[in-house]
Every structure is written in structure tokens, then in C-alpha cells.
Amino acid sequence: MLRGVIPLISMLGLSILVVPTGLALADNPNVQMVARGDPAMAKAHEKSQKGLDDFLEKLRNPPSGTENYNIKLGFTDKANVVALTTDQTAPDVEYMWVHQIKASGDHFTALLGDTPEYIHNIKRGDHVAFEKSDIFDWMYIENGKVKGNYTACPLLLAGPKEQLEQYRDIYGIVCD
């Protein structure tokens, strides 16, 4: 499931939920179902990984004109806690955005910016500790345009062409 964290990009920060097909979804327009192992989402994740080091450098030393740094993580309930995963074939994973990121090497802490729909052991505003290897996607705003957020593209490409053109014009999102 893909979700938004800030009003400016809430439409872009859709949440992704990877669940068994029989599970009914809540009526939430910011939550989108994605089949486990979806090839377009796998390509989006691969693209985000290629730009991850550059993103992390900017996160640590933000250039002028950049703001709203966010990272998407995959959460799953484990006993009374949550676990993180980037495994796109794992069941019952909810991908959500974190913000107010603090970095120490390849270790990070942040605040969960979304309200979980299906994960029960974490809530919006909770602190999350994670590693570089846990990062599924990333985004920030540069001079009013979205950079990153590659996981939005598979969802936008599957939707109406007018919506894709609107996102391209307003937010600068470019999808292959």
C-alpha cells in the first residue's frame, strides 16, 4: 500500500499494500493494491535504488531549493512489533512514508507520516529505526517539483492519461 505524508504530495505519495487478493480494502483513495511481485513496481524499486546514494547525500546536506525529504519503507506485523522488508513477494506488507529523517551512517530514524490501514503494531507519528537496505523508495521537493517517488509511476501509468499529464505538469513527475 502506498500513502502520502504531506498535503502537497499526498496525491503523489500513494501507499502500496501487498496483500492476498481476497482481502477487502478500506475505502481510502490514498491506498492502492499492488499484486505481489508486480513487475512495474519491481522496476520502480530498482530505479529508486539506483538514485539512493545521491538522495542520501542530499538528505545529509540539503542543497538550496530542496525540502520535504521522505523515505518509503515496507512494514509488516510481527508478534507485537513491526518488521521492515523490501521483499515485494512477501504477503501483508504495507509500504508507507517516513519523514523528519535523521541519518547516522547507514542507520536512520524517522517519524511515520502515514496512518496504517492494515498494520496494527505502529501508528502515525511513531519513531522508526531502519537501515539503508530497508529503503524501498524516496522523494523530496526541488524548486517545487517532485524528485524520486518512483513507486507512484506504476499507479499513475495504470490510471487515466489525463491524471498522468496533470502530475507531470504540476509536480514534474516523469514516468517511463
> How confident is the model over 129-171, as pLDDT tens digits?
999 999 999 999 999 889 999 988 887 777 777 777 777 777 7
Instruction: Say how far apart CA 108 and CA 102 lie, in whole Å.
Output: 6
User: What pLDDT score was predicted for residue 30?
Assistant: 57
Q: How many CB atoms lie within 10 A of CB 53?
A: 10
Q: Phi, psi at residue 162, to the nearest 5°?
A: -60, -40
> Is pLDDT larger for residue 174 or for residue 75?
75
Alpha carbon distances (Å) from 1 to 64, 79, 103, 112, 172: 32, 20, 25, 14, 23
* pTM of the predicted protein model: 0.82
Residue 29 is predicted with a pLDDT of: 53
Dist CA 77 CA 41 (whole Å): 22
Closest CA to 129 of 101, 97, 95, 149: 101
pLDDT value at residue 4: 39
pLDDT(17) > 80: no
Q: Using the predicted structure, report yes or no on whether residue 20 has a pLDDT greater than 50.
A: no
Q: What is the pLDDT of residues 43-86, one digit of tens each?
A: 999 999 999 999 999 999 999 999 999 999 999 999 888 999 99
Residue 96 has pLDDT above 80, yes or no: yes
N residues, the chain: 176
Give the position of cell 521483499: 87
